[in-house]
A and B are shown apart, each in its own frame.
Chain A
């Protein structure tokens, strides 16, 4: 049995042009979220973890310097690459990007944000910006410290290359982790680790077309090109890099990040969380 119930006076539906448009722009909302998320990251435990992240590559390099002798610039560059744009950026983004939605559900703040005009999109894009800014800042500090203790000849000449690798790594990986964050928010961390292993370190090292869709191929290729190692590499190793020019590598990462972010935003726009999943 269905009953129709009418209470109070029903005003005539307002004409479309009479309806107030949202007063805010998406960009303003995104910046608000980014600012709020960054403020959340400025807590003692988070700062302590970030400090560890900054110190760790330098500590490893110092240990390596004590072990190896002679010219070791190439080794140092490889270690720097493995530790900073790969490991440190990956870990930083796992911690900051994966809980984008899960944190809000846990804190009971999701409903407050989801009812705002651009709340869902702003949450994802703002968290993305905050995650990239935070992780890149930590990685750049770590890079500076590591270069300072690296013992390489002219270490600061490597800074632009590595800073670019850090930026691209953060951009691409944060977008990659946005997908698990919106699809399986409560298992985002585990899912993202899986995605990182399968996509970045398995598919990324396959000498097949599929590796063109990974950030790790682009970063490796940029490193090889930036260091001028292309011709010295054995033929087998050359299968693991892409020889296209720098702008193609950078454009590919930006395009990949854009596609992943748009997909994540569209998914989050349609996501529904039963009341039992909140709080």
Chain B
């Protein structure tokens, strides 16, 4: 469906994406990365808004930039909020469908159907400026879907939605991806997980991992993590901890902190607690390493660069 071959995008001296090579087949894919990772640039290249400085981008076998044949098959919902004030959702979506080549009458039918689908049926006559951010988000989504593209590209599509609306739209997008292709950018892992999409992880403009959610989780689990133990006698506790095969490295921070590297944090935490109890050592804190998405990204970067965390 789409391929990027050694693609680099430069904005002057700033790198948007850096030497990315990836091929995505038909189906649903999530593009995961923190803010500023290069997701929007990646999507800009795929949707033909940007041209690669180096390398080659192909969508449906052709470069998308300034290519009406490819663009006719793409629907795009950008992350930026829609600040069009006076148009109603119906006018806006109909306008976009007309730009995709439909007659005014056909565009009106498709626009209304798409707005019904995203749950905006009762607000189609209200000016966009009077709608909440979540409702404008739905209008944007309807605009991207209404001409029934073969590839739907969504940039942070669930921003500003309440949990119920998010749940509804995740379901809608998931149903969409059953027989068509989907590429969703998000900085929230659970959003991509909910879409049951394959994952491409991007950080600092570089592609650091790709695969299914399960494969990425396994990869992350296989990376060493650290346990931070604050106690009265860290050296005695270290002696106890060393007896466990799960402990891969030890170091001290200041007088009271012991840092233990491990690939089995759960088992080691239990072993440390038991050891401390046995030796009568007062443990004040036992904190696992950073398991947040940022932490995950950090560890993937370390893996990508071939250095220990």
Q: Which residues of A contact B (CB under 8 A)?
A: 1-11, 13-14, 19-25, 28-29, 32-33, 36, 39-40, 43, 106-109, 111-120, 122, 269-270, 272-276, 278-279
Interface centre among A28, A43, A275 (most CB of B within 10 A): A275
- Chain B residues lying within 8 Å of A120, measured Cβ to Cβ, are 66
- Min distance, Cβ A46 to any Cβ of chain B, angstroms: 10
- Of the residues A2, A23, A115, contact of B76 by C-beta under 8 Å: A115
- Of the residues B71, B80, B86, B210, contact of A116 by C-beta under 8 Å: B71
**Are B304 and A1 within 8 A (Cβ)?**
yes
**Are B83 and A108 within 8 A (Cβ)?**
yes
Indicate whether B163 reaches chain A with its CB closer than 8 angstroms: no
Q: Which residues of B contact A (CB under 8 A)?
A: 1, 6, 11, 16, 19, 21-27, 29, 40-41, 44, 47-51, 60-62, 66, 68-69, 71-76, 78, 80-84, 86-87, 91, 95-96, 98-104, 140, 143, 198, 200, 207, 210-211, 304-306
| Minimum-distance CB pairs A-B, first 6 | A24-B101, A8-B25, A279-B80, A13-B61, A23-B101, A117-B68
A-B contact list, 24 entries, CB within 8 Å: A4-B22, A5-B210, A8-B1, A8-B25, A19-B62, A22-B68, A22-B71, A23-B72, A23-B101, A28-B98, A32-B95, A32-B99, A33-B99, A36-B91, A43-B86, A107-B83, A108-B80, A111-B44, A112-B140, A117-B69, A122-B99, A272-B49, A274-B41, A278-B80
- Which of chain A's residues has its CB closest to B61's CB? A13
If A1-B304, A14-B60, A21-B72 touch, whether A113 touches B99 (CB-CB below 8 Å) is yes
**Are A25 and B61 within 8 A (Cβ)?**
no
**Are B87 and A119 within 8 A (Cβ)?**
no
**Are B83 and A106 within 8 A (Cβ)?**
yes
- Chain B residues lying within 8 Å of A115, measured Cβ to Cβ, are 47-49, 71, 74-76
**Alpha-carbon distance between A36 and B95 when the two chains are bound, in angstroms:** 7
**Are A2 and B40 within 8 A (Cβ)?**
no
Q: Is the interface of B mostly helix, strand, loop or mixed?
A: mixed
**Are B1 and A11 within 8 A (Cβ)?**
yes
**Are B69 and A21 within 8 A (Cβ)?**
yes
**Are B16 and A7 within 8 A (Cβ)?**
no
**Are B80 and A14 within 8 A (Cβ)?**
no
- Chain A residues lying within 8 Å of B29, measured Cβ to Cβ, are 7-8
- Chain A residues lying within 8 Å of B6, measured Cβ to Cβ, are 2
If A29-B101, A32-B99 touch, whether A11 touches B26 (CB-CB below 8 Å) is yes
- Min distance, Cβ A132 to any Cβ of chain B, angstroms: 20
- Of the residues B84, B103, B211, contact of A109 by C-beta under 8 Å: B84
If A20-B72, A116-B96 touch, whether A107 touches B82 (CB-CB below 8 Å) is yes
- Min distance, Cβ B71 to any Cβ of chain A, angstroms: 5
- Chain B residues lying within 8 Å of A28, measured Cβ to Cβ, are 98, 101, 103
- Chain A residues lying within 8 Å of B22, measured Cβ to Cβ, are 4-7
- Chain A residues lying within 8 Å of B210, measured Cβ to Cβ, are 3, 5, 7
